[in-house]
Structure 1
């Protein structure tokens, strides 16, 4: 019986640091996951901003082409 109590005591003593190590591992992994998600969100924002800028640039180029194009091309002489 004394051996059983001693074994349980040893298991309990060593289980506390192991639980702390595992908990710390999961916390650090979640912090990394949050950082990755923040970077992905920032990247998506930049992609969206780039898309809007390119769309505006194409709109302006099209408008310029319409203004600079030949005006009398369809006039019958």
Structure 2
């Protein structure tokens, strides 16, 4: 099995989650620094999450959702088409 093929949807999903987080933050008029103050993580880690370079842990995702007033369900909801 070629695992490089399996990683492509993972990369797309990370990017999609990061875009949703960035969009929610901007809709609320918050800076990245305001979010990280509320969720208590390093700003560089948060920036990598927004860029889709790394996955947030479930705990960090929960903290981000609380800070941005969105649900975990909204954050992780996606369609198959968006990952093709």
TM range (shorter): 0.3 to 0.5
State the structure with bigger RCO (CA 8 A, min sep 6), 1 or 2: 2
> As a proportion of its length, which structure holds more helix?
1
Q: Greater CA radius of gyration, 1 or 2?
A: 1
TM-score with structure 1 length normalisation? Answer: 0.36
TM-score with structure 2 length normalisation? Answer: 0.33
